[in-house]
Amino acid sequence: MPTSARLLLATLALILSACAGNGTVPETTAAPTTLRVATYNTSLYDDADGGLVRRLQAGDAGARKIAAVLQQVRPDLVLLNEFDYDAGGMAADLFQRDYLERPQASGGEALHYPYRYFAEVNTGVPSGLDLDRNGTIGGEGRDRGNDAWGYGLHPGQYGMLVLSKHPIDAAQARSFRLLRWAAMPGAQRPVDPKTGRYWHDDAVWAQLRLSSKSHWDVPVRTPSGTVHFLVSHPTPPVFDGPEDRNGLRNADEIRLWREYLLPGTQAWLCDDAGRCGGLAGDARFVIAGDLNNDPADGDGHHEAIVELLEHPRVLRMATPRSEGGAETARAYAAKGLQRRGAPEHVTGDFGPKAGAMRLDYVLPSTGFELRGSGVFWPASTDPAAAIADGSDHHLVWVDLAL
């Protein structure tokens, strides 16, 4: 018998004898070779405090569609934007138990996330200041929302929720909710063009928070090491005036991630626990969220998102695309609403005035290999389109080699 055959038989004999010792066949669970990361603005918010919990308890059609999309795509790690925060996590519990863990029509199999992360956000939290300069502090409806640290009608509206199949190192997570806008070097302080003076006086400017919701660094322990999930949801660059206070804030909220990736101590960049400095130079990360800025179209300072896309630590990759997005963008173009950017790249439909735009991003760091990507926006003729309208945004995903 050839030597190679004898070696093979001997190896098989050793394996069989080991199996016979305990009466079981050893499990051979292969480590996953890819990590699917996604972001999804779910529109799961309510204007009333506790309203999302009540909707989920009653059975919410929009939440069923959102869950169905997640069951179809099945990301390993996902950020949900516009998911109302409650301190006890009741909304997150209900969404997991009654929606994700139950097969939805046009969805897939039940989906379980053993790990999650959520925390306070600035939206709806009263500032005690007249931020919109209408002569009153707080008030009702939009007046109250405009004077919150981030626009919202109650604390926690438009919150964020991270779901993960891999362990989250919550003790090392960082939140920059309280970071002052004025602390950022070169902060773009709004100016009233009518008077040439700053929109906010010095006392107000010194207190303003940069993040309209929050900026989180959530470390996730994947089979191939820690990945920092850098998530946020900057304010839309609209609903202001010629002073452009929301447009400038959006740009600086996006710039915060560029600053976070710079080498050095960054003494001004301190999180809510008092730890200062940015991300280690050798750390792997994925930036994700509804960043409310299209590289070429719509309102906002486009250079802010372009400079993030072109950051030397961000992986250069093909832009996620969809058939449904292209179809929608071209339909608007046929009605006279032209886009400068590629129609295949849009991630949401924002109505006849704004049209379709690319606002949602999943941006991995260098060191990953891209295996695939997409936007869950099926063509209108695809049966899956029936679950794709649960939000005006669409889920964006990337597959990364570990």
Question: Helix/strand/coil (H, E, C) string of 126-159?
Answer: ECCCCCCCCCCCCCCHHHHHHCECECCCCCCCCC
| Residue 27, pLDDT above cutoff 60 | no
Q: Could you give the 3-state DSSP secondary structure of residue 120?
A: coil
In this model, does residue 26 exceed pLDDT 70? no
DSSP state of 316: P
Query: Based on the structure, what is the number of domains in the chain?
Result: 1
Single-letter amino acid, residue 230? L
Query: Residue 83: in which H helix or E strand, if any?
Result: strand 77-83
Q: Please report whether residue 118 resides in a domain.
A: no
Residue 19 falls within a domain, yes or no?
Answer: no
Q: What is the pLDDT of residue 32?
A: 65
Q: What is the spatial distance between Cα 349 and Cα 38, in angstroms, rounded to a whole number?
A: 18
pTM for the predicted model, two decimal places: 0.91
Q: What is the pLDDT of residue 264?
A: 79
Confidence check: pLDDT of 350 > 60: yes
Which run of H or of E encompasses 7? helix 3-22
* Residues 284 and 219 sit within 8 Å (Cβ to Cβ): no
H or E stretch at 51: helix 51-58
Q: Is 113 among the domain residues? A: no
What is the average pLDDT across 273-295? 97
pLDDT of residue 352: 94
Over residues 358-387, the mean pLDDT reads 97
pLDDT, greater one: 12 or 315: 315
Q: How far apart are CA 9 and CA 1, in angstroms?
A: 11
Q: Give the tens place of pLDDT for each residue, 74-85.
A: 999 999 999 999
The dihedral built from the CA positions of residue 393, 311, 316 and 174, taken in this order, carries a sign that is: negative
Q: What is residue 12's predicted lDDT score, i.e. its pLDDT?
A: 36
C-alpha R_g of the chain: 23
pLDDT at 25 over 90: no
Residue-level pLDDT at 397? 98
Alpha carbon distance 80, 363 (integer Å)? 15
**C-alpha angle 336/340/346, rounded to 5°?**
90
pLDDT, position 7 = 36
* Residues 47-79 pLDDT 10s: 999 999 999 999 999 999 999 999 999 999 999
Q: Is 123 part of any domain?
A: no
Which CATH number is 335's domain given? 3.60.10
pLDDT(396) > 70: yes
Q: Confirm whether 142 is domain-assigned.
A: no
State the virtual CA torsion across 250, 251, 256, 261 in degrees, nearest 10: 140
3-state SS, residue 168:
strand
* Residue range(s) defining the domain that contains residue 363: 168-401
In a domain, 32, yes or no: no
Confidence band of 19 (pLDDT split at 50, 70, 90): very low
Asked if 52 and 124 touch (Cβ cutoff 8 Å), the reply is: no
What percent of the chain clears pLDDT 90, i.e. is strictly above it? 88
Give me the phi and psi of 28, to 5 degrees please. -125, 80
Q: Is residue 394 part of a domain?
A: yes
φ and ψ of 234, to 5 deg? -60, 155
Q: What pLDDT score does 224 carry?
A: 87
Rounded percentage of the chain residues whose pLDDT exceeds 70 = 92
Q: How confident is the model at residue 265 (pLDDT cuts 50, 70, 90)?
A: confident
Confirm whether 109 is domain-assigned.
no
**Residue 402: its pLDDT value, please?**
78
pLDDT at 251: 98
Q: What's the length of the chain?
A: 402
